[in-house]
Amino acid sequence: MHPNSLSDSELISEKKFSKILAEISLKIRQSLELDYILNTAVAVVRDLLNVDRVFIYKFQPDGSGIVEVESVSYQSRSIINEVLYDPCFKEDLINLYKLGRVSSATDITNSNLPTCYVELLLRFQVRSILVVPILQGDDLWGLLIAHHCIDAREWQNSEIELLQQLSVQMAIAIRQAELYQQLQQELKQRQQAETKLREVNKQLKAKLTENKIYADIVKNMQVGLHVWQMEDLNDVSSFRLKATNPAVTHLTGYEEKEIMGKRISECFPHLLKTDLPEIYAEVIHSGKNRDLGEIEYFEQRIPHSIFAVKAFPLLNNCVGILFENVTVRQETENELKRQKKVMQMLTTMNPDGILIVDTEGVIQFVNPAGALLFGRTEDELIGKAFGFPLVVGERVEIEIVRPLNELRVEIGMAEMRLGNIIWEGKKAYLASFRDITERKRTEKTLREMNEAIAQEIQEREQAQNQSQEANKKLTNWVKALESRNQEITLLNNMIDLLQACFTVEEACQVILPLIQNLFPNTYGSVFKISDSRMLVEAIANWGAKIPEETLFSPHECIALRRGEVHFVEDTQTALTCKHLPQPLPKTTLCIPIMAQGQAIGVISFYYQEKQKSQKKNIN
HSE (CB half, 13 Å, CA atoms) of 210?
2
- Using one digit for the tens of pLDDT, what is the confidence trace for 186-196? 889 888 888 88
pLDDT in tens, 535-566: 999 888 888 777 777 889 999 999 999 989 99
* Burial class (CB within 10 angstroms; exposed 0-12, middle 13-18, buried 19+) of 587: buried
In terms of CATH, what superfamily is 8-180?
Answer: GAF domain (3.30.450.40)
End-to-end CA distance of the chain: 30
pLDDT at 92: 65
Q: Is the pLDDT of residue 472 over 80?
A: no
Angle, helix 157-204 to helix 8-30, in steps of 10 degrees: 0
- The answer to whether the predicted template modeling score (pTM) of the entire model surpasses 0.75 is no
What's the average model confidence in pLDDT over 243-251?
82
pLDDT value of residue 13: 65
Contact 616, 595 (CB under 8 A): no
The pLDDT, as a whole number, for residue 282 is: 92
Q: What is the pLDDT of residue 615?
A: 56
What mean pLDDT value characterizes the chain?
Answer: 82
Q: Give the fold, CATH level 3, of 509-618.
A: Beta-Lactamase (3.30.450)
Question: Per-residue pLDDT averaged across 385-398, rounded?
Answer: 79
272 within 8 A of 263, measured Cβ to Cβ: no
Closest to 34 measured CA to CA, from 187, 191, 184:
184
Angle, helices 210-220/157-204, rounded to nearest 10 degrees:
170
Chain centroid, CA 318 distance in Å: 59
> Structurally, what CATH architecture does the domain formed by 353-434 represent?
2-Layer Sandwich (3.30)
Q: Does residue 133 or residue 170 have the better pLDDT?
A: 133
Quick one: average pLDDT of 471-485?
A: 69
Pairing of strands 426-435, 224-230: unpaired
Cα 218 to chain centroid distance, Å, stands at: 52
What is the per-residue pLDDT for 268? Answer: 86
Tell me what pLDDT residue 87 has.
62
Specify the CATH number of the domain 207-330: 3.30.450.20
